[in-house]
Amino acid sequence: MNRLTITVDNKYIQTYRGQIGRWLQPEGNSLQALATKYGTTAQEILAMNDNSISGREFIFVPFSDEVYQNLLKQGFGRRIVQVDPRRYIWPAETPRYTSRFGSRFSEMHSGLDISAPMSTPVVAADDGEVVGSAWMGGLGKAVMVLHSDGKKTVYGHNNDLLLKVGERVNRGQILAYSGSTGRSTGPHIHFEVRFQDVGMNPEDFLPYGYHQSEIIVHEDSNGIAVKESLPDIRASSALPTRARSF
């Protein structure tokens, strides 16, 4: 079967509505100052954010090609992965899981907990449409994406939500920054797969073997970089202390 080649957003280079740029907090900077820094215009920034940035904690700032190329030259290129089109990609760059789907502490754990430091980019496991981006009870700030086969993926405990309901997303596109909101004892990503509101084991849809074997290269100013050699990422090599997180 032909494999898909996917470019996965990271902290430095991200995509939104087909544009390359980054989600940023204005932090008192004027639109013109941001535009000058990233090689764009205030009008382009406004257009990317539905012509309104009032009250928004994060806005998407598109990059000029020069800014993008400079980031690549500095080694900040995104990972390029090859995947079986029938399977998802991991929603975090370093997919070490700390708790699995199933019975836990006499309760049902409905997803896979993935270790992620605060403000790690959380990316879409597959193409789809955002159907939820809000506070979701114990999941805290969460994103829900509906996929073409009727399944939904859920990404919980985020610190910052970036997209609105109705947005189309591509596999590997940033959805949020991770955190520890809701019923959680530490930063991580709670990842669920649902079909007709029934929870399914996420491990059945992620790459086999608990290796990040689908990673091939990083993008750089010449197009690609050296192939990576990556360690096993099973739970035994995850965090030494397994916190009770939900």
**Picking from 60-64, 224-228, 231-235, which range would have the lowest pLDDT averaged per residue?**
231-235
In a domain, 194, yes or no: yes
In a domain, 57, yes or no: no
Question: In this structure, what CATH number is given to the domain that contains residue 94?
Answer: 2.70.70.10
- Percentage of residues of the chain with pLDDT beyond 70: 82
Spatial separation of the C-alpha atoms in residues 188 and 115, rounded to whole Å: 5
- B/e letters for 125-158, b = 16+ CB within 10 Å, e = fewer, are bbbbebebbeebeebbbbbbbebeeebbbbbbbb
Please choose, from the candidates 220, 243, 232, the residue with its C-alpha nearest in 3D space to the C-alpha of residue 13.
220
Residue 185 has pLDDT above 90, yes or no: no
Q: How many residues does the chain have?
A: 246
In a domain, 156, yes or no: yes
Residue 84 Ramachandran class (φ > 0 left, ψ -120 to 50 alpha, else beta): beta
What is the pLDDT at residue 231? 41
pTM of the full predicted structure?
A: 0.86
In a domain, 244, yes or no: no
Number of domains in the chain: 1
Judge contact between 85 and 148, C-beta under 8 A. Answer: no
What is the pLDDT at residue 139? 95
**Picking from 8-12, 62-66, 84-88, 178-182, which range would have the lowest pLDDT averaged per residue?**
84-88
What is the pLDDT at residue 171? 97
Judge contact between 3 and 83, C-beta under 8 A. Answer: yes
Tokens of 161: 């939500």
Spatial separation of the C-alpha atoms in residues 132 and 28, rounded to whole Å: 29
What is the pLDDT at residue 230? 44
Spatial separation of the C-alpha atoms in residues 207 and 91, rounded to whole Å: 12
In a domain, 136, yes or no: yes
In a domain, 78, yes or no: no
Element (H, E) at 21: strand 19-24
Q: Phi, psi at residue 74, to the nearest 5°? A: -85, 0
What is the pLDDT at residue 183? 92
Spatial separation of the C-alpha atoms in residues 135 and 111, rounded to whole Å: 17
In a domain, 73, yes or no: no
Spatial separation of the C-alpha atoms in residues 177 and 188, rounded to whole Å: 10
List the domain range (segments joined by +) for residue 121.
88-208+233-237
Residue 210 has pLDDT above 50, yes or no: no
In a domain, 223, yes or no: no
Query: Is the pLDDT higher at 126 or at 210?
Result: 126
What is the pLDDT at residue 225? 55
